[in-house]
Structure 1
């Protein structure tokens, strides 16, 4: 028979007793390690974690819940039509697994009249320890009050904190959009258009501010006719592309607040037999998979969504454990991705 002292996996599910014997500690110490209690020496913690890995130990969730009055469940609430949710899920999971938390995903419709009731029912029925919120859900009026009422800690992605109880992980949207305008200006573009995001998506408002900052920095006047309102969809990108490309003189570059709208603008340019980037340069934001699938490949901004989601979940777990994070707003730098859809400005666009 295999003994736990042999330091090898068992032929049955390992128990907390097995872990304690393998690590040479008490069961209480193993429990403190599982619950991330601060009063455990690093060397002891490492020995217990090594024993759990060796034995293939999996925590008993009901027992942990009874002992700690926690469910060890993290909820992820997002808009059902979000195209980037896989990256978010992967990031949250990568933070939850080492800490022995499980993830419950909850897609919903951010514009539904029953959204707040829906989220309230989810919190009450699942008894999650905390929530990670993804825009535009995090921007919905009343969401903050609802979470405070339920006493649920939360961290939002791409959200501006409103007070000392509001936690968020963001990118430097405003700065990176200024950099995109600077890039287009260096290519000789002066008539630079901008397609704005849906007004409900407050987290994306900084992208327009970054466009304005960039235009001011390169000393280009903002032409109101070259700023159009989109809705973050491919279809709205088509509508905005028609508005912009029928103008005389037309813009030599079009910067869109997301990639979906940028690909819509590209479709209009192709239909009008315009060369990209020879006749018009087009840039987006997000670096979703389609950015590399269209032709020419799309110049864009890459958000490190998976890294942001991992940080958000790590911050949330600290809050669940009453460990206050150091900052209300953690900023992760985005990156300009220069591809073939942007190039030197056409001297005479018409």
Structure 2
């Protein structure tokens, strides 16, 4: 059986170059006060040994941890994982964040924190003390939790607030929720729909209100009424069932519905089917998120593709720049989504032959 090759460490480089560990660390991290000939000597040993710097070696410089920490809501994330219903928010965060962090010699990891508990600061303090991240990404509802944002600001740790444009510390970022909802509404209006219902998310998320604003703005601009066409859920399937039934039992029911999550859209699809309402012939349906499951429904769902990966990628870039150069955006950073057209949308029946 072949012996496993021993990994090359910073100690091997130091021994080969005949210098201290600290000198190798300063060369790796492009530190000050290193003579050119010493840099060449250490680099020659690195090249000869095939050494790849680890985060531990990079951290020896003491100036950076080379780690970006993303915080996600524990309760909701675990519930989605256990349900195995297709949500890929964390996957998309890792896709965008890890790849971008890696380009800059950083690493990104995700921690789950319960934003509703009283001891959130104590829990967060332990995480920050053990990991010492160069930057933190906050996702909803953490991004608007004042205990968390105040704690990070007091620790002088750069952080990005995804899903928040309110004033205060940190880098405010959105995924263009108001624009995305207006875009979906305009698309349905372009198909000929006039009565377009909307199922909103919970009020604890600012983005829920932004999406309602986008829908309202597009409907008003087109001269259509929104009275009685708004219902609220909690992003979950069961709440979507209740909201969809209320809309579809209206005396003059909507010919199209936009649901603020894939789970609520699936619930709307199932409710319509149970009521004998055909999608898309009798009802067009658009979802938010565009998680994998919407590709496999019958029909497949037209969806607003939330740019989670792109937004996380941008957050990583901004945090690295803030940690290294102290640069902060003056205005909220917006990364807008796109609309993916599938089989759940069509002109309303009265316009089908126009």
Q: Shorter-chain TM-score: what band?
A: 0.7 to 0.9
- 1:11–1:75 Cα change, 3 Å: closer
- Quick check: 1:14–1:56 contact (8 Å CA) kept in 2? no
Structure 2 counterparts to residues 140-219 of structure 1, below 5 A: 140-163=145-168, 165-219=169-223
- Residue number in structure 2 paired with 1:73: 67
Cα deviation for residue 60 of structure 1 reads: 4.5
Cα deviation for residue 235 of structure 1 reads: 1.2
Quick check: 1:13 aligned with 2:17? Answer: no
- Classify the secondary structure of the residue corresponding to 1:285: strand
Unaligned runs of 5+ in 2: 34-38, 78-86
- Quick check: 1:161–1:167 contact (8 Å CA) kept in 2? no
- Count of residue pairs brought into register by the alignment: 328
- Residue number in structure 2 paired with 1:3: none
- 1:287–1:137 Cα change, 3 Å: same
Cα deviation for residue 217 of structure 1 reads: 1.6
- Residue number in structure 2 paired with 1:294: 297
2: CA distance between counterparts of 1:140 and 1:169?
A: 15
**TM-score, normalised by the number of residues in structure 2:** 0.81
- Residue number in structure 1 paired with 2:84: none
- Quick check: 2:73–2:115 contact (8 Å CA) kept in 1? yes
- 1:302–1:54 Cα change, 3 Å: farther
- Residue number in structure 2 paired with 1:115: 120
- Classify the secondary structure of the residue corresponding to 2:174: strand
- Quick check: 1:160–1:203 contact (8 Å CA) kept in 2? no
- 1:29–1:65 Cα change, 3 Å: closer
Structure 2 counterparts to residues 1-350 of structure 1, below 5 A: 13=8, 15=10, 34-35=28-29, 56-80=50-74, 81-82=76-77, 83=87, 84-163=89-168, 165-223=169-227, 225-347=228-350
2: CA distance between counterparts of 1:337 and 1:53?
A: 47
2: CA distance between counterparts of 1:50 and 1:235?
A: 62
2: CA distance between counterparts of 1:275 and 1:89?
A: 37
2: CA distance between counterparts of 1:59 and 1:104?
A: 18
Please say which of residues 316-325 and 191-200 is displaced more in the overlay. Answer: 316-325
Please say which of residues 209-218 and 57-66 is displaced more in the overlay. Answer: 57-66
2: CA distance between counterparts of 1:247 and 1:325?
A: 49
Cα deviation for residue 257 of structure 1 reads: 1.5
Q: CA RMSD in A?
A: 3.3
- Quick check: 2:306–2:338 contact (8 Å CA) kept in 1? yes
- 1:14–1:255 Cα change, 3 Å: same
- Quick check: 2:171–2:329 contact (8 Å CA) kept in 1? no
1: CA distance between counterparts of 2:44 and 2:229?
A: 60
